[in-house]
Amino acid sequence: MRKILFALVFVAACSFSAHAQFGKIKVDKVASAVSKGVKSFTLTDAELKGYADQSTKWEDEHNHLCKTTDEYENTKAYAARLENIVANIPADLVKEYNLDIKAYHVTDVNAFARPNGSIRIFTPLMDLMTDEQILGVIGHEIGHVVNKDSKDAYVAALRMSALKEAAGAVGGDKVQALTDSQLGDLTEALGNAQFSQKQENGADDYGYEFLKKCGKDPSSMAGALGVLLKLQEEAGSPENSKFNKLFSSHPDLKKRIERLNKK
């Protein structure tokens, strides 16, 4: 019963599977607009990290964050497994990007990265993939951080939510403390981000090279996408499936797999 409750809280608060309020955020277009000199909304890296830290804390509090100290054996097992997978990542990379990689025990099949280095893997995704494939997914998400896609998505979410007046209003590198309602709105906008094909290809390439750096088989990156493709095919039409958000945020899986296999 508690598991169901956590899942319902997640779906109600974050709505990763369906987002009607904000519409789709095309991250690459927003980034282009910002680069062309939109002066009404700018944030320093320190301010961005401050807001990302707030929203990450909010998300962790509103989802079942798996810990090795959990009283439930299944969530303890997820946490322990992920710790073993993360142990393969070079320490200098973890330090450089302030990586904080944990698992959410929720109902959706997905993963995401925030610009502050926080990466969250959903346990249903872990159920479907091998350890090396999960490591590939983590590498893909790190790629979004390294390539600043996650930063662009975060700026887009702030602009699309009702927070653009609040964000940056304090001045300097200080950030305004956001209310629970504001953080909920921001999380919903973040869950609605949709990366472009170019951004996804870049993250795939990073994940491929990342697996090699970790001493693992780089073909596991294509294998991870293959798991998603199989899920898509089994679900039928993406537009009518409960995995619609997952598939729309991972465009053209077949072409992405073909690109990686050519490597």
pLDDT digits (tens, 9 = 90+) for 205-222: 999 999 999 999 999 999
Phi-psi region of 138 (alpha: psi -120 to 50; beta: other; left: phi over 0): alpha
Do the Cβ atoms of 175 and 47 come closer than 8 Å?
yes
Strands 193-194 and 118-122: unpaired
Encode pLDDT of 54-63 as tens digits. 999 999 999 9
Do the Cβ atoms of 34 and 163 come closer than 8 Å?
no
pLDDT for 202 equals 97
pLDDT for 173 equals 57
- Whether 188 is a known active-site residue: answer no
Domain segments of the chain: what residues?
2-9+26-261
Encode pLDDT of 29-54 as tens digits. 444 433 333 334 577 889 899 999 99
- Cα 99–chain centre separation: 13
In angstroms, the CA 101 to CA 87 distance is: 11
pLDDT for 163 equals 59
Angle at 94 between CA 96 and CA 139, to 5 degrees: 110
pLDDT for 237 equals 56
Tell me the DSSP string of 34-90: HHTT-TTS---HHHHHHHHHHHHHHHHHTS-B--TT-SSHHHHHHHHHHHHHHTTS-
The active-site residue out of 141, 200, 209, 234 is 141
In angstroms, the CA 155 to CA 130 distance is: 33
In angstroms, the CA 38 to CA 29 distance is: 12
Do the Cβ atoms of 191 and 185 come closer than 8 Å?
no
pLDDT for 157 equals 86
Comparing CA positions, the residue from 67, 64, 149 lying closest to residue 107 is 64
* Regions in the chain scoring below 70 on pLDDT: 1-41, 161-174, 237-251
pLDDT for 99 equals 98
Torsion of CA 244, 250, 251, 255, to 10 degrees: -130
pLDDT for 13 equals 36
pTM higher than the cut 0.85? no
pLDDT for 159 equals 79
Do the Cβ atoms of 197 and 251 come closer than 8 Å?
yes
